Amino acid sequence: MTGTQADVGVLGTGTMGAMTLWRLARRGIHAVGLEQLAPGHDQSAAGGETRIFRTAYLEGPQYVPLLQEAFTLWRELEAESGRRLLTLNGGLMIGEPGSPAINNLLESIRTFGLSHEILDAPAARDRYPQHRIRDNEITVLDRQAGFLRPELAVLLAAASAERAGATVERYTRIEAIEPDNSGVTVRAGGEERRFNRVVVAAGAWSGRLLPQLASRIQLQRIVLTWYAARQPELFNHERFPIFIRRSTDDIDMSGMPSVDGAGVKIGSKITHSPVPDPDKLNRTVAAADLEPVRDAVARLLPDLYPDPIRVSTYMDGYTPDGHGLVGALPGTDRVIVLAGFSGHGFKMSPVIGDIAADLIIDGKTNRSIDHLAPDRFS
């Protein structure tokens, strides 16, 4: 058996893996990260220069304590790295009163006393003229929201982990994971390594490495688009908060301000499509693929030129209920799974990494993660 040895292996050092390595290293645990590319790559989910951070949560109030901890850990990583990763410029959640998303959002606010403001349609149109708000919609301003720098954050988390004693083996493709009663054998880069426990944070490749979970993780191709503004000053981070728009007529879109002159970034589930093989992601975007989002931009963000100036493709794993998988692999406590975050995991990644460290070191965590249990579909 060859290759670097350690008590803990972290398989994949993308978003969740890099954060796990960092949190393990901060607790004095020597772990080895195995990565088929390198931390900070843009070949899976964490790309496009910005990702949303928000605290008042559309997906349910059970996430709020995790997000509050994540906020603290983001600031800790900034302090360690000396780089700014999280900019709080507010977040607008636009939707129809009584809808599930808005109900979840308001429950999050009420339960945890979150700083916010509720605007009716006329008030929202007056304050945020960039948006075309319809009469039947409300806008909720989440004051502890903004945007993160994903590629840089992953790179810096891995670098901080390495400075604290972790090892990252780059360009080492993981081929198989074989747990048994006394440990885990990992085949990667043509070599075998033996670990006491492993964390599988392989993103889009998690279902391939853990076939028993493959049916629970559907890969989706994500098309992101960037738009030029007719009045650029309206779309800088000081005047244009991040936003998410959910409506019953299938409008589901999110956006971020123009940073670094890169254009206004828009994402929408109407551009998603299945990915049969993570090694063969189709990165070519046909004009027809963009028609729905172009139409939505033209109608709802009229001060943007509706033809994108940039298009990029990514992929992420989605579970049937839209919540991630965090915990021991069913049947063995030797393998901790971090997978299937369904497009909304990046913002909470530091605390997910810390939870993984809890599970590795103590075999349990005091955070409430029952809604993320990998065996909940059994």
Measured CA to CA, the distance from residue 175 to residue 172 in angstroms comes to 9
State the first-to-last Cα distance of the chain, in angstroms, to the nearest integer.
35
What beta strand segments (E) does 257-309 contain? 264-268, 273-274
Q: What is the CATH number of domain 8-46+151-216+321-372?
A: 3.50.50.60
Return the pLDDT at 1.
Answer: 44
Q: How far is CA 272 from the centre of its chain?
A: 16
The pLDDT of residue 6: 73
Q: Which helix (H) or strand (E) holds 178?
A: strand 174-179
How does pLDDT run along the chain (378 residues), one tens digit per residue? 455 557 999 999 999 999 999 999 999 999 999 999 999 998 989 889 999 999 999 999 999 999 999 999 999 999 999 999 999 999 999 999 999 999 999 999 999 999 999 999 999 999 999 999 999 999 999 999 999 999 999 999 999 999 999 999 999 999 999 999 999 999 999 999 999 999 999 999 999 999 999 999 999 999 999 999 999 999 999 999 999 999 876 678 999 999 988 899 999 988 899 999 999 999 999 999 899 999 999 999 999 999 999 999 999 999 999 999 999 999 999 999 999 999 999 999 999 999 999 999 999 999 999 999 999 997
- In terms of pTM, does the model score above 0.85? yes
Q: What is the pLDDT of residue 226?
A: 97
Beta-carbon contacts of residue 56 (< 8 Å; ≥ 6 apart): 64, 91, 93, 105, 108, 109, 114, 116, 140, 142, 144, 145
Token representation of residue 11: 């398989």
Distance CA 103, CA 344 (A): 18
pLDDT recorded at residue 345: 97
Both structure tokens of 149? 């720098």
Q: How far apart are CA 293 and CA 304, in angstroms?
A: 12
- Give me the DSSP letters along 35-98: -SS-TT-SSSSS-SS-EEE-SS-TT-GGGHHHHHHHHHHHHHHHHHHTS--EEE--EEEEE-TT
Distance (Å, whole) CA 235 – CA 348? 26
Which residue in 106, 102, 170, 142 sits closest to 347, CA to CA? 142
3-state helix, strand, coil in the chain (%, to 5): 35, 25, 40
CA–CA separation, 56 vs 63, rounded Å?
Answer: 9
Sequence-distant (6+) residues with CB within 8 A of 16 are 201, 203, 338, 341, 345, 349, 352, 353, 356
Residue-level pLDDT at 61: 96
* Fold classification of 88-146+218-318 (topology level): D-Amino Acid Oxidase; Chain A, domain 2 (3.30.9)
> Where do the structural domains in the chain lie, given as residue ranges?
8-46+151-216+321-372, 88-146+218-318
DSSP letter at 130? T
Alpha helix ranges (H) inside the chain = 15-26, 64-81, 100-112, 121-127, 150-163, 206-209, 287-300, 349-362
Residues in the chain: 378
